[in-house]
A and B are shown apart, each in its own frame.
Chain A
Amino acid sequence: MKEYALELIEKGKRIDGRAFDQFRKIEIVRNAIKSADGSARVKFGETEVIAGVKIGIGTPFPDTPDQGILIVNSEFSPIASPEFEAGPPGEDAIELARVVDRGIRESKAIELEKLCITPGEKVLSVFIDIHIINHHGNLLDAAALASIIALLNTKMPKVEGDKINREEYVGNLPIAHLPINISVGKVGNFLIIDPTFEEEKILESKLCIAVREDDKICALQKQGSRQIKFDELEKMIDLAIEKSKELRRLCQQEH
């Protein structure tokens, strides 16, 4: 399959007929999970991920006594791929969670200062859990998009003393910025966006870029075991900045 994908790409085509800079069909279901405080179920073609947000109460870090806490976790559930095994997150799941975390954290997407209850003692924790449902390539971009959309529709439960009361909601999670992750892959002379599972295997290099709405870069991660030619970095990053606008528009619909 991957030899075929490579052959096609060299002829300027992709297996599914897409252009090199085209996303697969993206489907978004907001608030897909009623039990979560915020959630999104996102599909990029066959790849499917769910991001669920839960708000909790926590102790702030000593150097940021008046800021809420963000924790991002991801599970590569065995339902999603014959390659995923049950058990604690492996290196790929950990890497994905940490890269998504960086995009959100460094862009200052969540106004963490507004999540303080008692400075130095009690703050709100925002848990984002990313669950992979079907692995058909480009998990990182789908997971990041699902996460930011989930954050956008997260309702803040009422805090009563030491407890969370989910019967009453007191507004939305304060979101100030919209980071978007775009992974750019290189095959032959071409840069491609949103690689499928088979395409990921033939990529010569892959760079994931998190871009904020003001075109500032808030995270970078070279992915995979290949190299990136130094002179190609600029084209890859330019493409990511351009494409991030498309995905950001999808976030902003219905908002």
Chain B
Amino acid sequence: MEEKKLILNGKRLDGRNPDELRNIEMKVDVVSRADGSAEVRFGNTIAIASVYGPRSLFPKHLQEPEIGIIRCRYNMAPFSVKGERKSPGPDRRSIEISKVTRNALEPAIFLEDFPRAVIDIFIEIIQADGSTRVTGINAASLALAAAGVPMRDLVAACSVGKIDDTLVVDLTGEEDNYSKADIAFAMLPSKNEVTLLQMDGILTKDELFQLFDLAKKSCQKIYEIQKKVLREKYKVSE
């Protein structure tokens, strides 16, 4: 792959500083039929999440006697990617992302409050420009809260990585392609617990931990936006 310069004069191709998030928009209750839903945008990446449940789970053998279960499906719409159309349906990448997304949300939910039942979480990426899975997780977290699902905390997520020799947050699609390393990170901000951690690339241990700190700070910013959006939706009128 040819070398492409992603950082010029300390700024990224879209003009951002290395530790700057893209423009973020979040909306709750966008799907009226769902029990809870949200749309989240990070720059040009758009994810919509719907939550259904807790609801009855059949066939019975899928039920857990003491706790509820979560099912999660991450999907990219065929028109969401740049370039060639993405063939519809789950591919291996989407299946893995569905799994780690579920694993990222489970620690936040009080599964024991709805034994034998299920919560279904669906995430659709309708426009993809990098960091899609973390955008999906941010949306799913809002949707769960809007649905009244009992949770220990909201889940906030972001991507961090190394492009050229600089450590950055919230990678675009292009930055991800040319990155030396990228990390998908999600946490329960007020519990200081990590629920999603995936990395690929090459990093020294020092670089890794600098990126963890950057991810944690950025998740805190995202968390504040999530909370603001939920409050505003239900603002008390005087």
Binding site for B on A (CB under 8 A): 63-64, 89, 91-92, 94-95, 97-98, 102, 105-108, 207, 212, 215-231, 233-234, 237-238, 241
For B93, the chain A residues whose CB sits under 8 A away are 98
Query: In the complex, A231→B183 CA distance in Å?
Result: 17
Indicate if the CB atoms of B107 and A237 lie closer than 8 Å: no
Indicate if the CB atoms of A225 and B103 lie closer than 8 Å: yes
Query: Any chain A CB within 8 A of the CB of B131?
Result: no
For A207, the chain B residues whose CB sits under 8 A away are 197
For B106, the chain A residues whose CB sits under 8 A away are 225-226
Please give me the residue from chain A that is nearest to B105 by CB atom: A225
Indicate if the CB atoms of B96 and A91 lie closer than 8 Å: yes
Which of A94, A102, A107, A234 has the most CB atoms of chain B within a 10 A radius of its CB? A94
The SS class assigned to the B binding surface is mixed
Mark contacts of B104-121 with chain A using CB atoms, 8 A cut-off: 1 yes-contact digit, 0 otherwise: 001100000000000000
Query: Any chain A CB within 8 A of the CB of B233?
Result: no
Known: A230-B216, A234-B209. 6 other contacts (CB 8 A): A64-B1, A91-B99, A106-B181, A106-B202, A226-B106, A228-B197
For A218, the chain B residues whose CB sits under 8 A away are 200-203
For B200, the chain A residues whose CB sits under 8 A away are 102, 105-106, 218-219
Query: Any chain A CB within 8 A of the CB of B7?
Result: no
What total of A-B pairs shows CB separation below 8 Å? Answer: 98
Indicate if the CB atoms of B107 and A217 lie closer than 8 Å: no
Indicate if the CB atoms of B107 and A229 lie closer than 8 Å: no
Indicate if the CB atoms of A233 and B212 lie closer than 8 Å: yes
Query: Any chain A CB within 8 A of the CB of B25?
Result: no
Indicate if the CB atoms of A230 and B194 lie closer than 8 Å: yes
Indicate if the CB atoms of B107 and A226 lie closer than 8 Å: yes
Which of B100, B193, B200 has the most CB atoms of chain A within a 10 A radius of its CB? B200
Please give me the residue from chain B that is nearest to A177 by CB atom: B202
B227 to chain A: closest CB distance in Å? Answer: 20
> What 9 pairs between A and B have smallest CB-CB spacing?
A220-B199, A227-B193, A222-B197, A227-B107, A225-B106, A91-B99, A102-B200, A228-B194, A230-B192
For B9, the chain A residues whose CB sits under 8 A away are none
Q: With A91-B96, A94-B92, A94-B96 as given contacts, are A222 and B194 in contact (CB-CB < 8 Å)?
A: yes
Which of A64, A98, A108, A227 sits near B195, CB closer than 8 Å? A227
Query: In the complex, A227→B95 CA distance in Å?
Result: 21
Query: Any chain A CB within 8 A of the CB of B208?
Result: yes
For B237, the chain A residues whose CB sits under 8 A away are none
Query: Any chain A CB within 8 A of the CB of B196?
Result: yes
Query: Any chain A CB within 8 A of the CB of B204?
Result: yes
A136 to chain B: closest CB distance in Å? Answer: 22
Q: With A106-B200, A212-B202, A218-B202 as given contacts, are A225 and B102 in contact (CB-CB < 8 Å)?
A: yes
Query: Any chain A CB within 8 A of the CB of B32?
Result: no
Which of A63, A217, A223 sits near B208, CB closer than 8 Å? A217
Indicate if the CB atoms of B202 and A98 lie closer than 8 Å: no
Indicate if the CB atoms of A106 and B201 lie closer than 8 Å: yes
For B172, the chain A residues whose CB sits under 8 A away are none
Query: In the complex, A54→B117 CA distance in Å?
Result: 45
Q: With A98-B92, A230-B193 as given contacts, are A107 and B202 in contact (CB-CB < 8 Å)?
A: yes
Mark contacts of B175-205 with chain A using CB atoms, 8 A cut-off: 1 yes-contact digit, 0 otherwise: 0000001010001100111111111111111
Please give me the residue from chain A that is nearest to B203 by CB atom: A217
